[in-house]
Structure 1
Amino acid sequence: MATDQNKFQAIISHCKEYGFVFQSSEIYDGLSAVYDYGQNGAQLKKNIRDYWWKSMTQMHENIVGIDAAIFMHPTTWKASGHVDNFSDPMIDNKDSKKRYRVDHLIEGHAETLSKEAGDALIEQMDNLLKDNDFAGLKKLIEDNKIKCSVSGTVNWTDVRQFNLMFSTQLGSVTDEASEIYLRPETAQGIFVNFLNVQKTGRMKIPFGIAQVGKAFRNEIVARQFIFRMREFEQMEMQFFIRPGTQKEWYAYWKEERLKWHLSLGTSPEKYRYHDHVKLAHYADAAVDIEFDFPIGFKEVEGIHSRTDFDLKSHQEYSKKKIQYFDTETNQNYIPYVIETSIGLDRMFLLTVCNAYAEEDLSKDGKEDSRVVMRFPAKLAPVQLAIFPLTKKDGLPELAKELMDKCKSSFYCFYEEKDAIGKRYRRQDAIGTPFCVTIDHQTKEDNTVTIRYRDSMEQERVPMDKVKEIVLNKINE
């Protein structure tokens, strides 16, 4: 349960200071558990999204992408089980009137204990959750004297279920409007479009449908910065397979998805698999890929064997036949599904936490330090910064010439203010992998100084080679 809250707080502050993440509606004191992405955050998020999308749709011949609407027919959520099952055990403190998700309350307390004691508490909780033993969960909270963070008391209500879906009205007149939901996941938009995609794309099983989109959950205690939010983005892929082959495909995607994470250069020690103790109502196997955040190991992606629950249920509720005719086996059947579901915001946080480093550069009695974001070049919000050494002698014109040559291929940033050292530090702080300085020698031999973020080494290269150097690194 090792955590580094100081580092986590430093990362949150850095995200605000350098335009990655802002509190939503901050001028009005913010909205709890809702965040906006700033100029650097929006670009980093887009780069992560694009890398996932390309790896799913462009690199797999049998996976295509869709973009389904956020609003769906309300029966969708009855069929999916969300109306009846999308609930979490909650508990209220009678003194503060503050409501907590039971697992979050117990997990928060476990983090304050030793590893052995914390793990034992989590194991007890998991067993009680598996049996839906609400009385046992309340007793566990009381026995461990787990207090409300506001009132400081252990005066708790009974544990009860609370549905996490946001509802709203569809229609102009409230009396005549029908209640619909903001989608709590993107998966159902894929399932209801299964036949549309399969027929129009002439898809043969096995095949997948991918989607990136917003989802909404009324988390009672949303915490830990952007790790758990009420409005978030998911990157999901549903892979449709022949019944009976789910074990093999589940193993395949479990391994394939971890490979994707490691392709970004992250140390394998930072990741682990966590098998679900309690399976969702639709699953026959489920595993989380967890990452070692400064707040401990937390889920980033889930791989689920969903059986034929979703398509079968939509067939039943819609009264429409949702089946696939397999020409190889000469059979009609409802396909089984393997799901890969990754939170884009969590992947963003993972990328930021993994990249953040504070470095002491002091030497010869002279103090110096820097904060650097070691993003993979393909994900960095700015990939090349271009600096004229001075604002005169034709150097800005040469720098703009290089900028014009490169900006259609990758993200560039131009700056001529302050000393070069200060400019380097600012680019280190947003994770720019390459900085190029145009100086008076450039006018003589058309060479520039390229400076590498990670090593801080500098070398002289021909100006017309800069674009190639950066592209090679991005496409590595």
Structure 2
Amino acid sequence: MSKNNDELFKNVISHAKEYGFVFQSSEIYDGLSAVYDYGQNGAELKNNIKTYWWKSMVQMHENIVGIDAAIFMHPTTWKASGHVDGFNDPMIDNKDSKKRYRADQLIEDKIARYEKDGKTEKAAQLQTAMDEALKADNLTALRDLIVEHEIVCPVSGTRNWTDVRQFNLMFSTQMGAVADDADVIYLRPETAQGIFVNYLNVQKTGRMKIPFGIAQIGKAFRNEVIARQFIMRMREFEQMEMQFFVRPGSEMEWYDYWKQTRLKWHKALGTASEKYRFHDHTKLAHYANAAVDIEFQFPFGFKEVEGIHSRTDFDLSQHQKFSGKKIQYFDPEINQNYVPYVIETSIGLDRMFLLTLINAYEEQDLSEGDKKDSRVVLRLHPCLAPVKAAILPLTKKDGLPEKAREIMDRLKLDHNIIYEEKDSIGKRYRRQDAIGTPFCITVDHQSLQDNTVTIRHRDTMEQERVEIAQLDRIIGDRVSWKNLLGK
């Protein structure tokens, strides 16, 4: 990470806390590693991202429906899915610091340093060697790479490493009144299995015909050892997933369709195209016959935001085998029964949140001559902005607050509106810029005479005089979901 990028990322993290977007969980008790809370503005932004995904996935597709499955599931679910026996990460411990790390992430950090220092050939060689070791599940080779490239522990600075071992990432707990008699169950490490075990319920009750999809937004839990890059990698996180069930043999056609459709969803927000790229998996999961990541260029490099996977019929076949229930589809077009194949789209909501913050954050120098001035603005798409408009009476007297409240009461029926009367109008503008509010509406003495207000636009800072009766239309046009869903 370059100095400028490092500084940008630190500033975004600081901004997120200062303006009520993200807080460290249990901060008054010195926090909990790799766990975060979303503040008042963060919760609004997060909900708006969810709404955009849900509308584009469920509302805009006649053959996709949504569910909300429970976090707790029958423990055999995770045997069938392979998580009990195979949901592991290669971990290595430093004997001096007593810290545990993911071996592949230590190597990835070294690759990034090689690239930063201009040693591109060395970086490419190490990347290839790591990919081969991961594909072969060769833990000894991973450790050899760490030793060969003199990778040190970030805490102790030493190279006193243990062997690389596999570490299961699932959280387990007990369900039952008495611990000795309790059954071991797991906090779900992904939301996909809740969809698969409900395939029959949804298909029958919804009278769904293949191809069709089931979408879900929900929490998942992974015992990540290392807190990395703010909310990029957390122990408790949220996923937005859709499993699309197709006829065997047609999966690659649908795989390509969803690759392009999902990238289009991202770009509709106005993100520069060069900030995104596809990254094909070199090591496929045992259930997949194709997999690609949509990566975004964060300040710390290109990282996965969303995955598109062709999962074959593995999941439904496994649940059919372990449950003893027939999970098949009768296809009247070909007069055949079969276990459907699945194309998965899975996006990390927290990563999308961070992407959105970073992409919107801008520090502007507004100085003119000897007059120094600056602002921090979040150029959020109006649909995603936590607050759509701020109502600002010019003074706290002369009937201006009452008039401002009248306007707020009218607008808040359709939009999230904020009322603010403290500090100078300039300071109030800056506060709203910092949380990404598209419009500031100033109520002054003229407003009492002719029912007009001054509306200020966040991105241009231009102001215009408009009739109060026009505010519904002006704000509604800018924050309408049609602006995103119609693209």
TM-score tier by shorter-chain length is over 0.9
Counterpart in 1 of 2:32?
A: 31
Counterpart in 1 of 2:143?
A: 138
TM-score of the superposed pair, with normalisation by structure 1: 0.99
Counterpart in 2 of 1:288?
A: 293
Aligned-partner residue type, residue 25 of structure 2: S
Distance 1:376 1:70 in 2: 32
Counterpart in 2 of 1:13?
A: 14
Deviation per residue, 1:35-77 (Å, 9 max, x gap): 0000000110011011101111111000000000000000000
Counterpart in 1 of 2:56?
A: 55
1:398 and 2:399 aligned = no
1:69 and 2:43 aligned = no
Distance 1:60 1:240 in 2: 14
Deviation per residue, 1:154-176 (Å, 9 max, x gap): 01111111110000001010110
Give the Å deviation of 1:407.
0.4
Kept in 2, the 8 Å contact 1:235–1:341? The answer is: yes
Kept in 2, the 8 Å contact 1:171–1:178? The answer is: yes
Give the Å deviation of 1:85.
1.2
Q: Aligned ranges for residues 140-159 of structure 1 at < 5 Å? A: 140-159=145-164
Give the Å deviation of 1:113.
2.3
Counterpart in 1 of 2:275?
A: 270
Which runs of structure 1 show a deviation greater than 4 angstroms over 4 or more consecutive aligned residues?
A: none
Give the Å deviation of 1:269.
1.0
Counterpart in 2 of 1:165?
A: 170
Q: Aligned ranges for residues 80-91 of structure 1 at < 5 Å? A: 80-91=81-92
1:443 and 2:448 aligned = yes
**Which secondary structure does the structure 2 equivalent of 1:151 belong to?**
coil
1:452 and 2:453 aligned = no
Give the Å deviation of 1:2.
5.8
Distance 2:79 2:429 in 1: 55
Distance 1:453 1:156 in 2: 52
Aligned-partner residue type, residue 471 of structure 2: V
Kept in 1, the 8 Å contact 2:104–2:142? The answer is: no
Give the Å deviation of 1:124.
2.1
Q: Aligned ranges for residues 199-278 of structure 1 at < 5 Å? A: 199-278=204-283
Counterpart in 1 of 2:376?
A: 371
Distance 2:65 2:405 in 1: 40
Kept in 2, the 8 Å contact 1:2–1:296? The answer is: no
Counterpart in 2 of 1:412?
A: 417
Aligned-partner residue type, residue 251 of structure 2: Q
Give the Å deviation of 1:12.
0.4
Counterpart in 1 of 2:96?
A: 95
Distance 1:136 1:296 in 2: 25
Counterpart in 2 of 1:469?
A: 474
Distance 1:127 1:466 in 2: 60
Distance 1:174 1:303 in 2: 40
Counterpart in 2 of 1:321?
A: 326
Counterpart in 1 of 2:394?
A: 389
Deviation per residue, 1:269-318 (Å, 9 max, x gap): 11000000000111000000000111111100000000000000000000
Give the Å deviation of 1:192.
0.2
Unaligned stretches of 5+ residues in structure 2: none
**Which secondary structure does the structure 1 equivalent of 2:285 belong to?**
coil
Distance 1:452 1:314 in 2: 54
Q: Percent identity?
A: 72
Aligned-partner residue type, residue 315 of structure 1: Q
Larger displacement relative to structure 2 (103-112 or 183-192): 103-112
Distance 1:2 1:148 in 2: 21
Kept in 1, the 8 Å contact 2:309–2:344? The answer is: yes
Aligned residues: CA RMSD: 1.0
Give the Å deviation of 1:364.
2.0
Distance 1:123 1:39 in 2: 44
Deviation per residue, 1:213-239 (Å, 9 max, x gap): 000000111210000000000000000
Give the Å deviation of 1:84.
1.3
Distance 2:398 2:282 in 1: 68
In structure 2, which of residues 181, 191, 200 is the aligned counterpart of residue 195 of structure 1? Answer: 200
Give the Å deviation of 1:5.
1.0
Aligned-partner residue type, residue 22 of structure 1: F
Deviation per residue, 1:86-142 (Å, 9 max, x gap): 101111111222111011111122222235143432232112111112111111100
Distance 1:451 1:120 in 2: 53
Kept in 1, the 8 Å contact 2:328–2:339? The answer is: yes
In structure 2, which of residues 346, 350, 357 is the aligned counterpart of residue 345 of structure 1? Answer: 350
Kept in 2, the 8 Å contact 1:33–1:226? The answer is: yes
Q: Give the aligned length.
A: 476
Give the Å deviation of 1:79.
0.3
Kept in 1, the 8 Å contact 2:392–2:419? The answer is: yes
Kept in 1, the 8 Å contact 2:362–2:378? The answer is: yes
Distance 2:111 2:342 in 1: 35
Kept in 1, the 8 Å contact 2:216–2:240? The answer is: yes
Distance 2:144 2:449 in 1: 79
Structure 2 vs 1, CA of residues 358 and 119 (structure 1 numbering), >3 Å: closer, same or farther? farther
Distance 2:440 2:477 in 1: 15
**Which secondary structure does the structure 2 equivalent of 1:61 belong to?**
coil
Distance 1:366 1:472 in 2: 36
Aligned-partner residue type, residue 323 of structure 1: Q
Aligned-partner residue type, residue 132 of structure 1: D
Aligned-partner residue type, residue 101 of structure 2: Y
Larger displacement relative to structure 2 (108-117 or 317-326): 108-117
Kept in 2, the 8 Å contact 1:289–1:300? The answer is: yes
**Which secondary structure does the structure 2 equivalent of 1:114 belong to?**
helix
Aligned-partner residue type, residue 15 of structure 1: A
Aligned-partner residue type, residue 155 of structure 2: V
